[in-house]
Chain A
Amino acid sequence: MAIVFGVTRAAGWPEVKAAFFDWGNYRESFPAISRAFLLNVKIFLIAEAFILVFALLLAVVRSLPGPVFFPLRALAIAYADFFRGVPTILVIAVLGFGAPALAVGGIPTSTTFWGIVSLVLIYTAYVSEVYRAGIDSVHPSQEAAARSLGLTRGQALASVVLPQAVRRVIPPLLNDFIGLQKDTALVGILGSVEAFKQAQIEVSADFNFTHYLVAATLFVAITIPLARFTDWLVARDRRRRQVGSLV
């Protein structure tokens, strides 16, 4: 409250208010930015589908035991280290401008395509770590018990370890999903007109910054319901698991 009071009493407040909180401008650019936001939605939905699958494969590869699988494990580790370390915007710029420049027949030039590829590469690395944490959190006795019942290692992983592991990491998975949603704005550097780029276009037309607020509203409007949904999912799961037990 004190901050709000201080800000609104500042000498430059009328100017800031006109530049960032102009209702007329907000309404005017809302339809165009909403339409552009559909591209963000398309990008993160397609990307997330691939990320969830690839990251799980990567996590499983990384938790393979024994010296036989060392090369695979090493590759998985190198992949995760590299793509978690490189800034997303660089991967997008290099792939989005670089890959089509190869001019090899059959390589798509679509900026949306390369934007999705980059995001999948990056977020697969992040999400595989989340999965791995989940897999590690399942007590080894669970697998041992499954194997003693005659299940193979693969069967034990698929029907005993992974179901428990994935359930535990739903909140951090959502965390990365929200991160992905926000990073779709980076695809704009390739020339695709998504919500943030559309907002920039509007800003450059009249030099008023309210249009950024429109983009911000759209991103928040989609993440908050998702966060509440995850909370509900986790709570429901906990209730079901604790039926009949003492708390």
Chain B
Amino acid sequence: MRKILIPLAVLAAAVAAAATGGRSEASTAALPGCTKATLVTVSDGKLSIGTDNPAYPPWFAGGEGTKPWKINDPNKGKGLEPAVAYAVAKRLGYARGDVRWVYTPFNKAIAPGRKSFDFAINQISYTPDRAKVLTFSSSYYNVNQAIVGLRGKPIASVRSKAGLRKFKLGAQLGTTSYQYIVKSIKPSQSPAVYDTNDAAVAGLKNGQIDGLVVDLPTAFYVTAVQVSNGKIIGQFTSAVGNQERFGMVFQKGNALAGCVDKALAQMKRTGVLKRIQQIWLAKVTGAPVLK
């Protein structure tokens, strides 16, 4: 009984800690060479973090608060990405009040020139081509792609990747989901590409596409909230050694990236990152794997 109770108690403490922004975590050692005093940031003494608006679950949670944030306010520190961001900030010596969230649409995050943020965290997948333009942190979440269809439609009974080829598929612009359709599923019809997740969901509801490819946590959100008759048909696993991963992005060559990597490494070592993922992606409990 004790054996079960102790991990439970640890988990409960971690939940409480993450929910309050990690104020009481014991395992936070200072990172050598990475302290607030020595780091150069966009706004002195502050850590500016960019993300898109609206901020969607499950990546962001906690509901609306300060303007201009819609759906969820990252300042609340809830959801996977704010939780990771605040935990990293803490390890670099930035208190909660030192963190500034900057509205940064995807296109602005990737545009050349001086950035208005120190790093952006917005479900951006690492690819070697992208890393030529921006510096990526190491992974804070390893992600799989998944496909959502409507219940009762022919696509809902597909059980293999090859079975998806004859359907009209869609994805959001700028996502690796699109790359996955083109390079791995290779459908016979050219896929539809939407500017926003909402537009893609509208396309799915309207029957303009049969299947929507999104990352797995988003698939759970889409089927739970946005499309009542939606169904996760399955997920796709990455090839070995080619695991898709989300990283924070920095202006190319920004030395802060090295410090964020150290913070993430510490969070991985001490299990903090894993716990944050368990808390905020609890509902992401697997889906059939399509091969």
Contact = CB atoms under 8 A, between A and B. Distances in A.
Interface of A: 12, 15-16, 18-20, 97, 100-101, 103, 109-111, 188-193, 197, 200-201, 203-209
Given A100-B206, A189-B199, A191-B209, A207 B193 contact: no
A interface: dominant SS: helix
Nearest to A192: B192
Contact of A204 (B173, B203, B209): B173
Contacts of B200: 191
A19 B133 contact: yes
A101 B205 contact: yes
20 contacts: A16-B112, A19-B111, A97-B202, A97-B203, A100-B208, A111-B208, A190-B199, A190-B203, A191-B192, A191-B209, A193-B190, A193-B192, A193-B193, A200-B173, A204-B174, A204-B175, A204-B178, A206-B127, A206-B130, A208-B133
A217 B173 CA distance: 22
Interface residues of B, number: 32
A217 B29 CA distance: 55
A206 B133 CA distance: 8
Contact of A197 (B106, B129, B193, B208): B193
Contacts of B133: 19, 206-208
B43 interface: no
Interface of B: 106, 110-113, 127, 129-130, 132-134, 170, 173-175, 178-179, 190-195, 199-200, 202-203, 205-209
A188 B192 CA distance: 9
Contacts of B127: 205-206
Contacts, number: 85
A191 B193 contact: yes
Contacts of A188: 193, 195
Contacts of A16: 112-113
Contacts of A15: 112-113
Contacts of A20: 112
A207 B194 CA distance: 18
Given A109-B208, A206-B129, A191 B199 contact: yes
A33 B208 CA distance: 22
Q: By CB atoms of chain B within 10 A, which of A193, A197, A207 has the most?
A: A207
Name the residue among B112, B130, B175 with the largest chain A CB count within 10 angstroms: B112
Contacts of A19: 111-112, 133
Contacts of A190: 192, 199, 203, 208
A191 B129 contact: no
Nearest to A191: B192
